[in-house]
A and B are shown apart, each in its own frame.
Chain A
């Protein structure tokens, strides 16, 4: 019996979160197989075969995987999955779409957003916006789960696993990729950045002007509250929280953020939290290692200047 991990990539590289899934899978002490589905994806399969802990790479090369659709990837996983004890992936928008579909087709339950694996079929996961941790045991023969990437270290390079081509079922034809609009940025990915600088709606139109230089100083990523996104001050893909991206960087700046529980759900596992807010009673201060009661429009430029010295 082995473990099958659905790898995620951007066409050029395997995502960091896949490496974190590989670390999580070590809990079973079973051989780990990594499924790479792509088009012109030789180099991706090669990269995958180098990840420490990977015993074998299943390489699914097909033209229709240039933009992998959930329906098609699920069909591939179902074809391969019956032989595995565990099918897992990181809790990203891609896997969140694919794995529930796979679980239903295999007629098994799925466990989402696992933060810890305490026994071979026992998992800890947050519920109610991270206000409660639930421990669940699965009775199914095939375990299907997504893991919260930030809860696991990333597997490094160091293997030289066999790469095996697999047969790819034809596209289901149920859906069709039309286009995508990805933010091009030279900043690191939000979910894996070492430093995240987040702002709330109070930044208004000056969101980027104030936060970008600070993020730049650290080579960090920008984050935002839902309120900031809803108001159109920040793009939707940088929303941090229960229903956005989960982050746990070494350093998190919460700037003009009240600390609603839906926001806390996405960042309270950060190592060091800095909060800047002019309201001394803002809930965020209960979670901040360092709290500064100040007007952000003065404090942020001052901080950026002080750090640039």
Chain B
């Protein structure tokens, strides 16, 4: 079976982003970027399924600007067979992305679609569920274990207070949680190989899909800083402070 993995090019998770002087947006000019960590887990899972012989082809897709190619190369280096860039300079929001992904799904006809549970830039966590809705498929969110069983996939999900297991009819959509796997380390030769592989380019505009943003960002701001605290010398002083703060 074929797996489609959707990946997003985002600001590196180690970077604390800065707000632009005029408060209009986050300043990401020149900032280090890479594959969204949850999407890296999605690619890893698909590649492992291929290595185990459950999957025949892994296709990675991203929607975004030309620089998203770097993230597709990363997916290739991890072991994706083919990659697709749905290119657009437009502002993207989850509903629009889900609609574009639906078009790719219709073309590629995968049995399974894996996405990260959230992107660490906007932290919205919507695209997978929206895609599942649009293609009328079952969804397994926050997955920590996947098991294909005949016409179904069993998904162990990390939910508030524990885990649950749902069985989805294939084709289905899965979103990854951190503990699904630990992505492999990419070695240099794999990266060099990936540089030589082709990237299929689709212009989002050619798909004739309405991706106009529905949400307008009015401003961004730094959160209110916490007022500075103090260091206490020992446990006795800590207990005293907590007593005075009336939280004991």
Contacts and interface: CB of A to CB of B under 8 A. Distances in A.
Instruction: Report whether over half of chain B's contact residues are helix, strand or loop; otherwise say mixed.
Output: mixed
A28 interface: no
A103 B160 CA distance: 22
Interface of A: 67, 69-71, 74, 92-94, 96-105, 107-113, 122, 126-140, 172-183, 189, 191, 195, 226, 229-230, 235-237, 242-243, 245, 250-251, 261-262, 268, 271-274, 280, 285, 287-294, 299, 302-303, 306-307
Contact of A112 (B125, B161, B178, B247): B125
B227 to A, nearest CB: 8
12 contacts: A69-B166, A70-B139, A126-B123, A174-B168, A174-B172, A176-B166, A177-B166, A179-B165, A237-B161, A303-B235, A303-B239, A306-B236
B158 interface: yes
A101 B159 contact: no
Interface stretch (B49-57, B92-100, B191-199): B92-100
A274 B242 contact: yes
B161 A136 contact: no
A133 B225 CA distance: 12
Nearest to A265: B123
Contacts of B131: 104
B139 A137 contact: no
B61 to A, nearest CB: 18
Contact of B141 (A70, A132, A272): A70
Instruction: Report whether over half of chain A's contact residues are helix, strand or loop; otherwise say mixed.
Output: mixed
A172 B139 CA distance: 12
Count class of interface residues, chain B: 35 or more
- Centre residue among A74, A113, A174, A230 by max chain B CB count within 10 A: A174
Nearest to A250: B247
A175 B222 CA distance: 41
B139 A97 contact: yes
- Centre residue among A74, A103, A104, A176 by max chain B CB count within 10 A: A104
B138 to A, nearest CB: 4
B165 A306 contact: no
Interface in B166-195: 166-169, 172, 177-179
Contacts of A288: 229
A262 B230 CA distance: 23
Interface in B227-248: 229-232, 234-236, 238-239, 241-242, 245, 247-248
A73 B150 CA distance: 26
Given A127-B26, A189-B161, A226 B178 contact: yes
Contact of A137 (B38, B144, B215, B223): B215
Given A306-B235, A307-B239, A242 B123 contact: yes
8 closest Cβ pairs, A-B complex: A109-B214, A174-B138, A100-B129, A104-B130, A180-B164, A100-B126, A182-B162, A175-B138
B215 A138 contact: yes
A69 B234 CA distance: 50
Contacts of B161: 182-183, 189, 237
